[in-house]
Structure 1
Amino acid sequence: MALGRGSALVLSLSLCFFLLHSHMAHAATTYTVGDRNGWTFNTVSWPKGKRFKAGDTLVFNYNPKIHNVVAVSRAGYNGCNTPKGSKVYLTGKDRIKLVKGQNFFICNIAGHCESGMKIAVNAV
């Protein structure tokens, strides 16, 4: 059955809408850790109530003269220590893409992690 010009236009527009909606549904989100306060003390509860996906980006804003960000394992997070081979970020405006599963970050400056400068983020 042949489509008329009007039917073909409707079909084309429907396909474009579907593709656009599908792309938007999978678009990654960028989160600023600590919101306006940035990456600082007592951010441990910041992830609560947020839904993270693999591919989302966390932005860590902080003063690089007094803080850092370290991607650690669960053990590093729980013990506030930096396992060998952990990635250390030092720019003060770090952008880190989440991987699927648990993602753990701490500040490894003495006493900072113990003062709540750490977050655990689960990305689905």
Structure 2
Amino acid sequence: MNKLSLWLAFLCLLIQSYTNSAAVFTVGDGSGWSFGADSWPAGKSFRSGDVLEFNYNPAFHNVVAVDASGYNNCQMSAGSRVYNSGNDRITIGGGTNYFICSFAGHCDGGMRIAITAN
């Protein structure tokens, strides 16, 4: 029984260290989620479980999680998840995560990001 307790304690520490290692990134840094954000991810390293924080005025913008086609064509599909609080915190998964603003002309103006997480 003592070995089982030790194993469970080790497992809990391992899980805690993984969850504590997630980084929080403010999209656009001090400028927030705005036009020209498409260049913001350059030079940054992301991991699955990291959190993207989108700050913006919800009267003028939103955040939509899309697939590669939606990103490339600046279009959301019927199943796209729309965020509109103005302070959205989104945990990213492994692979490439795509986000756009669906307000007319905003995605074409650079309000889109592609984040590749390891």
| TM-score over 0.5 for the pair | yes
User: In the aligned structure 2, how far is the partner of 1:70 from the partner of 1:107?
Assistant: 6
Which runs of 5 or more structure 1 residues have no equivalent in the other structure? 1-18
Q: Superposition pairs for residues 48-59 of structure 1, below 5 Å?
A: 48-59=42-53
Partner of 2:7: none
Residues 22-31 or 70-79, more deviating: 22-31
Q: Alpha-carbon deviations, 1:41-76, whole Å to 9, x = none? A: 000010000000000000000000000000000000
Partner of 2:29: 35
Identical counterparts, % of pairs: 53
1:69 aligns with 2:63: yes
User: In the aligned structure 2, how far is the partner of 1:32 from the partner of 1:26?
Assistant: 17
The amino acid of 2:104's aligned partner reads: A
The amino acid of 2:17's aligned partner reads: H
- Moved >4 Å (runs of 4+): none
The amino acid of 1:23's aligned partner reads: S
Q: Which structure has the larger Rg over C-alpha atoms?
A: 1
1:91 aligns with 2:85: yes
Aligned counterpart for 1:114 among listed residues 108, 112, 116: 108
Partner of 1:78: 72
Number of matched pairs: 105
TM-superposed deviation, 1:26: 6.4
Aligned counterpart for 1:100 among listed residues 91, 94, 118: 94
User: In the aligned structure 2, how far is the partner of 1:80 from the partner of 1:47?
Assistant: 18
The amino acid of 2:76's aligned partner reads: T
Which runs of 5 or more structure 2 residues have no equivalent in the other structure? 1-12
User: In the aligned structure 2, how far is the partner of 1:55 from the partner of 1:25?
Assistant: 8
RMSD of aligned alpha carbons: 1.8
